[in-house]
Chain A
C-alpha cells in the first residue's frame, strides 16, 4: 500500500514534470500581457514538430533540437500574436483569449496541412525506468523535470537581473506605471511572447517525446496546462511549476481510490478544492 502510494506520487510528479514547462510559458505570457493565450497548444505542437524536423530529418542531437523547438515556438508565437492577438488586447483579456482559441484552430490545422495526422517519432532512444525496490522512475521524465526547473530558474534570473526582465516585471506589476516610466510596452510584449511561447515550444517537444507527435499533441494537454497555471496562480512563474505538480500528483493519487478513468474528474475536484481556499491560486498572481 505504501509502495502503491509512493508510486502514485512518483507517477504524478512525472506527469507534472511534463506539464510544467508549457505551463511556465503560459504564465510568462500571462504575467506580462494579462490574458490566457490558448494558442499555446498549437505553438507547443509547432515546437514539437520543429524539434522533430531538426532531430529526425536533419540529424541534430537532442539539445540542438530543443533549441529549434524554442526558436520555432517563440518566433511563430510572437509573430502570430503581433498579427492576430495584439489588436484584440485593448478590447480586454476575454477578447484576446477567444481570439487565441480561434488562432489555435488555425495553427493546429496549419500543422496538419503540412505534416498530416500520422504520428512521428524522434530519433532518440527510449530508456527503461530506474527501479528502486518496488518504485520505478523514468529517466526521460526526470530529465523533463530538470529542464523545467532549469527553465524556471532561468526565467527567474532573467526577470531579476536583465533590463528587459526588469521591464517585464514592471509591466507585470503595473502596466500604466511602467509606461509612464518610459518602458516600451511593445518591446516588452515581444520579449514576453518570445520567451514564454518559446518555452511552450520546448514543452511541446517534451510532451511529444512522452506521448506522441501529431497535430493534436499540444491540444491534448491544453486543459491540463491551463489547470496547472490556474492552480499555481495565473502569471506566477513558480506557481506554474507548482501547479503542474499539484495537478499531476492529485490525478495520480486519485487512482488509488477511484477507477482510473475518473482521474481527470478527480484532478478537477482537486483544482476546485485548492481554488476554494486560495481563489487566486496557490502562489497568487505576482510573477514571483
Chain B
C-alpha cells in the first residue's frame, strides 16, 4: 500500500509540473484571452480566428503595445463544447486574470461562458449568432460583432427579391437561430410578393442530406436558402448538384469559405450566392486580415476577431487603464461617435496617444453597437462563386 501511495504522489507531482512550468510574458503585459473552436464541430473556423488574433497582438506589441505595455494573448480551445469552454474561461479568468475574452464562436459556448465574464467584470467579445445572447443580463459586458438574425435575414430576403426569387425553400442546420431566421425571411419575402414555400431543419452532424434535399426539391423551389456551416454546406452543395438542382442557392459567407470552395469542383459551386456584414472593401483592417491568412476571401469570423482585439486595445488606450471595467466603459467611445475614422488599430493607438478622438471601422464592418451589444444596422457584402472563388457583387 505504501508503495502505491508513493507512486501515486509521484504521479501527482508529474502532473503538477505543467502548472509550475508556465512560461511568463513580460510582468507588465496586459492579459487577454481568446476562446476559439480549434477542434470539434467549429474546427473549420477556430484556427484561422486564432491566427488572426495572434498576428494582430504581435503587431501591436511590435509597434509599442498599448499604454506602453505588451498584450499577452492566451488562446484556449473550447472543442466546440460548452463545458470545455467554461473550463477554459475559468483558466483565463482565474489564472490569467484576463481583461477580456474574444472570439467565442458556438452560441452554447458563449451563453455558458457569459455569466463567468460579467460576474468577474471581464469583457466578452463574441461572434455567436443566437439572438438570445445579447438578451442575457450581462450589464454591458458582451459585445457581439455578428449581426442578429432579424437584421441578417431581412437583408438576405431583400437580395433574393431583387434577384427575382419567387419560390424559396429553406434548409437550416439545427441552430439556435434556425427558426427565427426562417420566419423573418419568410415575412420579408411575402411583403415582396415571393413565398417561402417550406423549410426543413436538419441535424448538421449527419453525413448525408439526400432525403432532406428530395423533400425540398419536390416543392419545386427556384431558390434554396442554405442556413448552414462549412462542413454541412459542402455536403449540401454536392448533393443538390447530384440531385440535378439547377436553381439558385443562397448561403452565409461564413459557410461558403475558401476551403469549401476549393474542396468541391467548380461546376458544383458556381453561382452560389453568399453574404456577410461588410467592411469597407478598401479598409486596411480587411486587407490586414487578408494578408495574415494569405487568402483573398477571409471568412467573417476571422474579420470579427480582428476587430475584437482592436477594440480591446483601443478601449484600454482610451481609458488609460487595462481592466475589464475600463473596456466596458470605453469601447463605444472609440468604436462610434464623432471621432476621426480609423481602420488600422495601430494608427488608432497613435491618435489616442496624441489625445485625439477616434471612430474605429473594422475588418467586419463599422463596429457600431447598441446598448445591449448588438451591432447597429450595417452594410452587407453580397458575393457569387465563380470558378472556386467568391466574387464581390455589390455592397449595400
Which chain A residues have a beta carbon within 8 Å of chain B's beta carbons? Answer: 4, 7-8, 11, 14-15, 18, 109, 112, 116-121, 125-129, 131, 136, 138, 140, 207, 210-216, 220-221, 224, 252, 255, 259-261, 263-264
Contacts and interface: CB of A to CB of B under 8 A. Distances in A.
A4 B230 CA distance: 29
Contacts of A212: 231, 234-235, 263
Interface stretch (B109-117, B128-136, B210-218, B219-227): B210-218
Contact of B206 (A207, A215, A263): A263
Interface string B187-213: 000000000000011110111101110
Contact of A126 (B203, B214, B264): B264
B59 interface: no
Given A211-B235, A212-B235, A129 B243 contact: yes
B265 A118 contact: no
Contacts of B202: 260-261
Contact of A220 (B174, B207, B234, B260): B207
Contact of A11 (B39, B210, B235, B267): B210
B211 A260 contact: yes
Given A126-B241, A129-B243, A261-B202, A119 B231 contact: yes
Given A15-B208, A119-B260, A212-B231, A264 B43 contact: no
A129 B246 CA distance: 13
A21 to B, nearest CB: 14
B265 A126 contact: yes
Nearest to B233: A212
A255 B44 CA distance: 29
A8 B243 contact: no
Contacts of B82: none
Most buried by B among A118, A207, A211, A221: A118
A214 B43 contact: yes
Nearest to B245: A128
Contacts of B200: 260
Contacts of B205: 220
Most buried by B among A11, A119, A120, A221: A119
Contacts of A263: 203, 206, 211
Contacts of B210: 11, 14-15, 252
A222 to B, nearest CB: 11
B211 A126 contact: no
B242 interface: yes
Nearest to B241: A126
